[in-house]
Amino acid sequence: MSVRRLDKNQPESFQFTPETEAWTVELLKKYPDDKKASAVIPLLWRVQEDCGGWLPEPALRAVAKRLEMAQIRVLEVATFYTMFNLSPVGKYYVQLCGTTPCMLRGAEDLAAVCKEVIGPQNTVTEDGLFSWVEVECLGACANAPMVQINKYYYEDLTVESFRKLLQDLKDGKEITPGPQNGRQGSCPEGGPTTLHAYCKPGGAA
């Protein structure tokens, strides 16, 4: 983690989309009238989605105004949580898990692929398609190494499968979330084995 600052290039203005506004009205029903600030994290998250994966400064002000809270309070939240991006990200935002289990299973090789295919961390490729960042544990250690691209996890990666994944995205092909080595969920590799010993075909023991 490093010091987090708002991006130098900011749009002039920001407006909630009608859908987000309607969604916000529903969201605020969960909280008492004088506790609108409670909605700050969900609303920032929604706004980040609307803005293509990052939070422009005018959006922070708009959220502050919508929730009747001080602008500095919104900035505090936005800078505290690393899941809020303060600079633009690629259309495909790759979060590479670099924590111990993934690292032991080859996350560093995946990082090298990112550097080669996408470029340095936190920079968007010229075509606007990719940016990547190394993050702390995403909680999918059983399928290490893994990355998160936008909302989904892509697990059990190898250098080759990860490279292919990125190429497919570049080519505009559909990619399937989950393990990339044919494994189902986090079942043992090569099919279920553990229960074979006493789980007779045709019925449970």
Partner 1 sequence: MPEIIIDGKQIEVEDGLTLIQACEEAGVEIPRFCYHERLSIAGNCRMCLVEVVGMPKPMASCALGVNDLRRGPNGELPEIRTNTPTVKKAREGVMEFLLINHPLDCPICDQGGECDLQDQAMAFGIDSNRYAENKRAVEDKHIGPLIKTIMTRCIHCTRCVRFMTEIAGVEELGLIGRGENAEITTYLERGITSELSGNVIDLCPVGALTSKPFAFTARPWELRKTETIDVMDALGSNIRVDARGTEVMRILPRNNDAINEEWISDKSRFIWDGLKTQRLDRPYLRDENGKFRPASWDEALAVVAKRLRDTQADKIAAISGDLCAAEEVYALKMLLDRLGIKNRDCRSDGTKLSDQYGRAGYLFNSTIEGIEQADALLLIGCNPRHEAAVMNARIRQVWRHSDLQIGLIGEPVDLTYDYHYLGAGPETLEEVAKGANPFADILRRASHPMVIVGQGALTRADGAAVWSAVARLAAELGIIRPDWNGFNVLHTAAGRVGALDLGFLPVEGGLDRDGILAAAETGEVEVVYLLGADEFDPAPLAKAFVIYQGTHGDVGAQHADVILPGAAYTEKNGTYVNTEGRVQFANRAAFAPGQAREDWAIIRALSGVMEQPLPFDNETALRAAMITAFPHLGQQDEIAPSEATGLTALAKAGGRLDKAPFKQAHPDFYLTNPIARASRVMAQMSALKQEELKRENNDKEATGTDG
Q: Which residue has the tokens 């990339």?
A: 180
Q: Near partner 1 by CB under 8 A, which window of 10-18, 112-120, 160-168, 193-201? A: 10-18
Strands, sheet with 147-149, edge to edge from the N-terminal-most edge strand: 130-135, 92-97, 147-149, 152-155, 178-179
What's the alpha-carbon Rg for the chain, to the nearest Å? 21
Question: Taking the complex as a whole, how short is the minimal distance between the CB of residue 41 and partner 1, in angstroms?
Answer: 14
**Measured distance CA(163)–CA(175) in Å, rounded:** 12
**Interacting residue with partner 1 among 39, 40, 55, 62 (CB under 8 A):** 62
Q: Near partner 1 by CB under 8 A, which window of 76-84, 145-153, 166-174, 191-199? A: 76-84
9 binds partner 1 (CB under 8 A): no
36 binds partner 1 (CB under 8 A): no
**Interacting residue with partner 1 among 27, 41, 52, 57 (CB under 8 A):** 57
**Interacting residue with partner 1 among 30, 65, 115, 196 (CB under 8 A):** 65
130: closest CA among 105, 113, 107, 108?
Answer: 113
Nearer to partner 1, 69 or 129 (CB): 69
85: Cβ–Cβ under 8 A, 6 or more apart, which residues?
48, 53, 54, 55, 93
Question: Taking the complex as a whole, how short is the minimal distance between the CB of residue 108 and partner 1, in angstroms?
Answer: 24
Tell me, by CB under 8 A, how many residues bind partner 1.
Answer: 27
Nearer to partner 1, 37 or 141 (CB): 37
**Measured distance CA(133)–CA(192) in Å, rounded:** 34
What are the DSSP E strand ranges found in 55-189?
92-97, 130-135, 147-149, 152-155, 178-179
21 binds partner 1 (CB under 8 A): yes
72 binds partner 1 (CB under 8 A): yes
What are the DSSP E strand ranges found in the chain?
92-97, 130-135, 147-149, 152-155, 178-179
Binding mask 77-116 for partner 1 (x = CB under 8 A): --xx------------------------------------
Interface positions with partner 1 (CB under 8 A) = 1-4, 6, 12-16, 21, 24, 57-58, 61-62, 65-66, 69-73, 75-76, 79-80
